[in-house]
Amino acid sequence: MPVEARVVSAALAGVAALAGALLLPFWPPGLVVALAAAAALTTVRFPRLGLAIALFVPVFPLGNVAAAAAAVYGALALGWLALSWRDPRAGLAFSAGPLLAPFGGLALLPLAVQPACGPIRHAAHAAVGVLTAATVAGLRADSLPVTGATVDELGIAASEQPAEVGAALMTVLVHNRDLVAVALVLAASSVLLPLVRRRGPRWIAALGVAQVAALLAAAPSSAWLSLVLGTCALCAALTLRPHFRMKMRLRTAR
């Protein structure tokens, strides 16, 4: 694997571990830095272990709020680790979701998750990226991305059973169907993106139009301008990428 890819995956693991440690108060500042450094450095040589560290850093902070919440998250993290076992360096591609959301850039998520291998992982990373961005916003008491809705207190602090936590999360999803629909649209775009990229600008433009139409239909009350601009940036990046690659090859040849 190229050195650049190793560096990017290590940096992403460190950032993900840092964000997970700071999401809720629990870890001392020195240990937060140590966990982020451990995730990054371990990913360079042992990507599966680095991915596991980054995924499981939030377990103890969540357990400090509710043991049932930590159990639910731990089960989800184990499932994600299993899904990413053969593609560990791209196992945190979904974390582009909470990074893009504050800038209104969720429409770029299908491109951001392309380092993952295969259509199933592409779709999973895109959908989970949207839901992770919503989770981060909810924990910070911010409005949800795209829809601008707010989430009331879940009431899971006193929950002792994982089923209660799962029911609370399902209630949030039912009440925010627009966000779930956006996650499905971006998942579909992430699957189609490699196909249209090989077919050229016309197919890329068609994907962009279809993505905007589907997003606006899925979330009619959404921040439509950010979705349109983000999709335009996605199409521009796809169109210009071959030109940049050609320039880099010419410079390398010289």
Short-list 133, 91, 138, CA closest to 226: 133
pLDDT at res. 1: 56
Segments forming the whole domain that contains residue 179: 92-253
CA distances from 227 to 130, 186, 197, 217, 230 (A): 13, 11, 20, 12, 5
- Residue at 242 is within a domain: yes
- Residue at 55 is within a domain: no
Question: Residue 147: which pLDDT band, with cuts at 50, 70 and 90?
Answer: confident
- Residue at 15 is within a domain: no
* Whole-angstrom distance, CA of residue 50 vs CA of residue 243: 34
Decide if 61 contacts 72 (C-beta within 8 A).
no
* 205-222: average pLDDT: 91
- Residue at 28 is within a domain: no
Pair of tokens at residue 93: 């591609």
pLDDT at res. 28: 92
**Higher pLDDT among residues 55 and 254, named by residue:** 55
- Residue at 158 is within a domain: yes
Number of independent structural domains in the chain: 1
- Residue at 148 is within a domain: yes
Residue 238: pLDDT above 70?
A: yes
Short-list 188, 218, 195, CA closest to 123: 188
- Residue at 105 is within a domain: yes
- Residue at 141 is within a domain: yes
pLDDT at res. 235: 94
